[in-house]
A and B are shown apart, each in its own frame.
Chain A
Amino acid sequence: MSRPHFQNKLLALVPPAELELLYPLLEPIDLPKGFAIATAGEPIQYVYFLEQGLGSIVSVSRQGQKAEAGMFGYEGFAPTPPAVRSTMSFHDASLQAEGYGYRITIEALWAAMDRCPEFSRLLARSSQNLATQVSYTALSNAVHQVNERLARWLLMSHDRLRQDEFLITHDYMALILAVRRPSVTTALHVLEERRFIRAERGCVTIRNRSAMEHYAQDAYGLPEEEYRHLFP
């Protein structure tokens, strides 16, 4: 079998012998914006490996209050519960920026994990890194200003989208950061005034990433450091 070129970091790291077993179980799939990959309170049927696109994992309270808990793109997989044989989702997960990738049924995933130890380890490391990301989002929500949280979120999205321009409304960023929409608009002005970004209607463009990283330095970088440690 000639090895397909994967953009997904986990699939790219699966050793050839394991890939031979895994690859026939993967189904290529287009992932339009808004595509639901898991729904809170419902059973999980598939696990997705993005090649391109950006997914958002949202916590939903019993009364329907929402905030983004984490994000994923080509660096990981989602939803993560099946990696520990859990089949129930406690989060909404959907595509925030369209893309494509592969999916696998959870039964096939488990069969593959039984026979592919390195693949299983890759899933475990990726789940660990998502947990770290979520824990630092919790820290940031508790201690950082909306401006810094927005900068952090833009940097994390930029890492995963690998493009400077993203189509996103202020409404959606408000949901993600769990703040009112005018607060997002105000924070975007602050970042724009410092020339880190350009904010237009429905679109944000990164102009100076390194300056924005410096600005968000207390809020950004540690989960990314762990990722580099886990996937050298």
Chain B
Amino acid sequence: MTRFYFDVRRNGRLEEDKEGEELPSKEAAIEEAMAAARELVADKVRTGDVVDGDAFEIRDEHGEVVHILPFRSVLRLD
């Protein structure tokens, strides 16, 4: 298991995830970020908010960014 951190890039600023989460692999971390982005985007869509350019920057325990997931990338439009 590895501890992954899900920082959020919002309006150019990085909001740090101070707790992180133990997950078995990078793929599992991306899956977790996608599931959370779906919840957050669904909230915005449901209440008529703008789905903007926020993104998860997934860090591993060494501080290296292993994946960037824009929230809007979870929208399936076709």
Contact = CB atoms under 8 A, between A and B. Distances in A.
Given A145-B47, A146-B43, A185-B6, A180 B36 contact: yes
A181 B43 contact: no
B2 to A, nearest CB: 15
Interface string A166-210: 000111000000011111011001000100000111100000000
A180 B39 contact: yes
Given A181-B32, A182-B56, A201 B15 contact: no
B10 to A, nearest CB: 8
Contacts of A183: 36, 39-40
Given A169-B19, A171-B19, A186-B40, A180 B32 contact: yes
B-side interface size class: 20 to 34
Nearest to B17: A185
A189 B54 CA distance: 13
Given A146-B39, A146-B43, A180-B36, A186 B8 contact: yes
A200 B17 CA distance: 10
Interface of A: 145-147, 169-171, 179-183, 185-186, 189, 193, 199-202
5 contacts: A145-B44, A181-B6, A182-B32, A185-B19, A201-B18
